[in-house]
Amino acid sequence: MKEFDIVFVGHMCYDEITPFGGKTAVSPGSAVLCGAVAAARIGQKVAVVTRMAEADRDILRPLEELGVETFVAPAEETTYSVVIHPTADVDDRVLRLTRCAGPFAPEDMPDIAARSVHLAGISDQEFSLDFIGSLRERGYRLSADMQSFVRQVDPETRDIRFRDVAVKREIAALMAIVKMDIVEARVLTGTDDLPEAARIFESWLCPEIVITRAEGALARAGGRNYYERFTNRSSVGRTGRGDTTFAAYLARRSDHDAAQSLKFAAALVSIKMETPGPFQGTLADVIDRMSEEN
């Protein structure tokens, strides 16, 4: 059986991004892409399990060139995501899902071993509670990006609305770690106070929580909170901020404590946000950025 450090599960997609005051551009994207690239570039053995149209397999090339193993469940179409920034606030976004590769089924998960399996969806069209339960039954240690449930697609307009999740406590109890951003935290817990949102989520029997916002990230583990500011000099690479933060945190967390893992993740994503697209740096770059801040 093949073994991996981290397996990212979720849709690959095309991102059509319109920055505030800038030109629209289309490129391969997704939480899976940003997360898997970051983890692979810092030395993790990574796999991706995705759903997409076979005709679009070329968008997997950046992953495969980094040694990421890809497992594709064929779908009629590849997910297409529209992101519009109407203001200069990088957290103010209009989101739309114009095409979708459909929900994962238990049989889409190959017979592989992993230290961690991360559910990196971009909307509520990917993971059901039954699918998550099937992964737990197979013994996987799970983490999830809560955007996979909070971002809910209107079936008529295809607009994404941020809404509460009826089964959020059940999802939380199945996870070893979860990731949210400040908007998702507010929707799920009723507060945008990061320490309080993390404490509430912990009360739902999730032992570890990471929450990102424009200025930095908070981690809660073992009943304690840790916070690190981002040090990016620009935000042209804002898309994928949370996905990259969490992938770096998850990778580092295998052999470091929560505080050190968060420092590492904040440094890595700060580098990533200075350039559009997935993280392009190296482990040495991240260590250098951490040293600059000490």
* Mean pLDDT split into 10-residue runs, the chain, 294 residues: 96 91 88 93 97 95 95 97 87 89 98 97 96 98 97 95 97 98 96 97 98 95 96 78 93 95 95 87 92 76
Q: Which of 194, 200, 151 is nearest to 172 (CA)?
A: 200
DSSP for residue 56: G
Say what the pLDDT of residue 215 is: 92
242 vs 255: CA distance, rounded Å: 21
Options 3.20.20.70, 1.20.1250.20, 1.10.10.60, 3.40.1190.20; CATH for 3-293 is: 3.40.1190.20
The strand pairing partners of 92, in sequence order, are none
Single-letter amino acid, residue 271: I
Say what the pLDDT of residue 235 is: 77
Say what the pLDDT of residue 222 is: 96
Single-letter amino acid, residue 244: T
Length of the chain: 294
Say what the pLDDT of residue 27 is: 85
Q: Sheet harboring 79-84: ordered strands across?
A: 25-29, 13-18, 79-84, 94-99
Say what the pLDDT of residue 207 is: 97
215 vs 203: CA distance, rounded Å: 26
Say what the pLDDT of residue 25 is: 87
Q: By CB neighbour count within 10 A (0-12 exposed, 13-18 middle, 19+ buried), where does 103 fall?
A: middle
158 vs 154: CA distance, rounded Å: 5
Say what the pLDDT of residue 294 is: 64
